[in-house]
Amino acid sequence: MTPSKSGRKPESAIAFQELVKSLQRFGEVTELMENLFVVDGRELLLGAFCSQSYYESKGYFWFSLAKTKFERLQDWQKNHAWVVLICGGTSQFFISLREVEALVSKMPPNRRDGRWDLYIRFEAGRAYFGVTRLKNHVDATSQMGRFEQVWSKPGVAETYADEAVVIPDALPPANHETVQMLRAIRDTSQSRYVKQLYEYRCQVCDWTVFSPRLKNQWYCEAHHLQPLAKRYGGPDHPSNILALCPNHHCMMDLGIMAIEPKSLKVLTLTPSESSWREVLLVRKQHGLNPVFLQFHFAHIYAPGATIAEETISEGIPTL
């Protein structure tokens, strides 16, 4: 497609056409409004252009970030939203929304119309990105090619082993060399939905990690409260899934951590860290079912424990 709204001057119009052309390698490009593009229905990008002649006269590239368009970005899934700074039609810096948010949150818009000034400045071969005269700036050089890496080099596939199967009830005899392991097949789209709902952050401690080799960029794990193994028969559904970091996923699997079904209080057999939440984070779109919290509490965390019926009927508090 040729952008019909972006580029008020011939030079900027050409720059946006080149941007769209490069983005078409990754999928269909749709222009929602001026300078705002969706790629393959997945990535939302807000573009800004500054001419080479401006840089030659000022010594830096200057961009204007409109507050209304920035808010439009924030409504998108944050791991898939970008600000693209086009420097003279040649250099392009794909800055993730999270990094832009971290900077603009420290200062109000510096223009009466609700805009921020953004800058790219080059020093000793490095590019520095900042807001309002490069205050709180960050090295943007590492961002070059990051968007392309995310698309073309996913590298790491997300794989899941069933919790109740891979943790054995007893160790095998020492002389056994061949081990056969059964693996439950699950619909990863269900796990992905829950992880995206929490922006790939642990519901207990808010942990996540970024990797450009992952398709989804950020990593956490999906935990099934009532495991899928045949002996447990749990469903592969968001109502039975939590988004957890590897540590808390392991603790739930081993039965040394649980969620109290009525209060959602995080319980553990080991001393908790100060960074843990006292109460599990649950969003109202999740649809987490207290029946599965009860199953995990009774059969995995505390076998044989019983929970009053009213703890289920009262439902789950949500944000």
**pLDDT for residue 143 is more than 70:** no
Identity of the highest mean pLDDT range in 17-26, 111-120, 137-146, 159-168: 17-26
Nearest residue to 218 (alpha-carbon basis) of 196, 236, 234, 188 = 196
Task: Count CA atoms within 13 Å of residue 116 on its CB side.
Answer: 26
Q: Please report the sign of the dihedral spanned by the C-alpha atoms of residue 165, residue 168, residue 172, residue 177.
A: positive
Q: Which residue has the higher pLDDT, 139 or 292?
A: 292
Q: Which residue has the higher pLDDT, 97 or 1?
A: 97
DSSP class of residue 225 equals S
Task: Tell me the average pLDDT across 298-312.
Answer: 59
pLDDT at residue 23 in the model? 87
pLDDT at residue 276 in the model? 81
Domains, the chain:
10-152 (3.40.1350), 163-313 (no CATH)
**pLDDT for residue 118 is more than 70:** yes
* Cβ–Cβ < 8 Å for 59, 50: no
pLDDT at residue 196 in the model? 86
Q: Which residue has the higher pLDDT, 276 or 163?
A: 276
**pLDDT for residue 158 is more than 80:** no
> How many other C-beta atoms lie within 10 A of the C-beta of residue 149?
16
pLDDT at residue 64 in the model? 86
pLDDT in tens, 233-262: 888 888 999 999 999 999 998 888 999 999
Nearest residue to 118 (alpha-carbon basis) of 75, 68, 83, 74 = 83
**pLDDT for residue 25 is more than 90:** no
The percentage of the chain sitting over the pLDDT mark of 70, rounded to a whole number, equals 74
Q: How does the average pLDDT of the chain come out, rounded?
A: 77
**pLDDT for residue 144 is more than 80:** no
pLDDT band at 162 (very low <50, low <70, confident <90, very high): very low
DSSP class of residue 71 equals H
* Cβ–Cβ < 8 Å for 80, 43: yes
> How many other C-beta atoms lie within 10 A of the C-beta of residue 281?
19
Q: How far apart are CA 241 and CA 252, in angstroms?
A: 12
pTM: 0.49
**pLDDT for residue 173 is more than 70:** no
Q: Show the DSSP H helices in 175-309 as ranges.
A: 188-197, 246-254, 290-296
**pLDDT for residue 179 is more than 50:** no
